Amino acid sequence: MAGQAARRRTFAVISHPDAGKSTLTEALALHARAIGEAGAVHGKAGRNATVSDWMAIERQRGISISSTALQFAYRDAVINLLDTPGHADFSEDTYRVLTAVDCAVMLLDAAKGLEPQTLKLFEVCRHRRVPVITFINKWDRPGHEPLALLDEIERRIGLKCTPLTWPVGIAGQFHGVVDRRTGGMVRFERSPGGATAAIEEHLAPAGAAERFGPDWHRAVEELDLLTLTGADHDEAAFNAATTTPVLFGAAVANAGVRQLLDVLVEHAPPPRPRPDTDGQARAIDAPFSGFVFKIQANMNPSHRDQIAFVRVCSGRFERGMVVTHATTGRPFATKYAQQVFGRDRETLDEAYPGDVVGLVNATALAIGDTLHAGPVVSYPPLPSFAPEHFAVLRATDSSKFKRFRRGIEQLDAEGIVQVLRSNARGDQAPVLAAVGPMQFEVATYRLTVEFGVPTELEHLPYRMARRTDPAGRDTLQTERGVEVLTRDRDNALLALVLDKWRLRALVSEYPRLVLEPLLADASYEAVAT
């Protein structure tokens, strides 16, 4: 058990939109030989699309909308790579993924440095003490000086940078990297079209100096300066999430990606005991336990099924075992267990801590639910973000109401949107609540494509939601600029308020009124606000 868990490396890639996250995910799978050819985000030049962005709307828009799990072997390790949406509107999905990983790769654009969404996601990692490896991408294009980028990281997020590779050549004139572990240089030559791994040539220091003269000497001088400042990798400091190893590369050219994979295998932490709801750490070798961090339906249009993604936290999972659903206390059979690779999947017979198990048609499960064998355990629930955008949704074809209702229930179960209802509006006009407006676009697109239900949206003016109680509902039902609805997933009463000034007025007029913020976990306030 301990040996199998020690082989696992479970990590997420986080970044601002357009930093190259999906491209890097594709390049990592390529270098591990999990795929034969790297796809392109927009599928250009006759190339396939990326395996992580499998939804049609993702390929049309060129952005990640839903998180994706990829498992593959590299060297003697088992890699569980979770690709996350970069856009702020889908931060809730990204947050859930960050609860299921042991490490994160923070991807930066060499020309842009730290961007707002990256900073927000890093704050979640900081709060959860998730170690972070930094990959500075797009070094094949013009960008900032490498020392300036390191200074920005240390100044703005407080992590001490300990580079493991260093670029030879300024941004836009990328020859390769100095590997600090060997002292030599790895020269990269982009393969035709960038669909296959970059050609690598390993050079001794003397050979690198002879071929790349000033660029090599500049890189060595900068590394000498970093050595004098103590910027050397320290395993304990990295695991304590106070330092970040830094690597340079160009994911679109598949350059520097193999070095990142090697660092993940050699330095990223394996699964560790995970605290339960009571704060007690569940040992890795304890009986099986895990929690649901994602639900996805209709990955295969031919089957129209639903998959619950379970992060294994302890013990050995075996397909067919009967476990306990902690929320209900009832037994739960795991006959239909699968290993997921993007939208592709195959039957999975066993899994270990760090792995992600896909349970098919597990409709009794909800995001945040715990499954366990042996002694009772329950992991902390995954709360919902506070929505800031609201819209009434209606089916334009009344004859398809049953499909409409089924689709709404599915989108709510997946966490695509929150579904709110009131007696005044009725079931035919639920209110969708979202962190960002792009969630509405995804919801209506999926209802049309997957359920065959065309819909129309009526945007509401509210910008805040607060939890209230029956007394609050009665008090607020005649107030202007506020509406109380019931949330489907937990029957909570939510008061939708016009803006912060109206909220202040209500609190002032009714000091005993219950209007509680929805945020229940400080670790995601950074990405929700």
Annotated binding site: 83-87
Output phi, psi for 429, to 5 deg.
-140, 65
CA distance 165 to 150: 13
The amino acid at residue 425 is R
Cβ-count burial 316-349 (b if 16+ within 10 Å, e if not): bbebebebbbbbeeeebebebbbbbbbeebeebe
Which secondary structure element, helix H or strand E, spans residue 29, and what is its range?
helix 21-31
In this structure, the dihedral spanned by the alpha carbons of residues 418, 422, 426 and 431, taken in order and rounded to 10 degrees, is -30
Which residue matches tokens 């020690």? Answer: 6
Radius of gyration of the chain (CA): 24
Annotated binding site for GTP: 83-87
In contact, 83 and 21? CB cutoff 8 Å: yes
Which secondary structure element, helix H or strand E, spans residue 5, and what is its range?
helix 2-6
In contact, 47 and 39? CB cutoff 8 Å: yes
CA distance readout (Å), 342 to 37, 49, 220, 244, 512: 15, 12, 40, 28, 50
Orientation of helix 91-98 relative to helix 116-128, angle to 10° = 30
In this structure, the dihedral spanned by the alpha carbons of residues 30, 32, 34 and 39, taken in order and rounded to 10 degrees, is -10
- Spacing of C-alpha 205 from chain mean position: 39
Tokens of 426: 């009725």
Tokens of 22: 């999906």
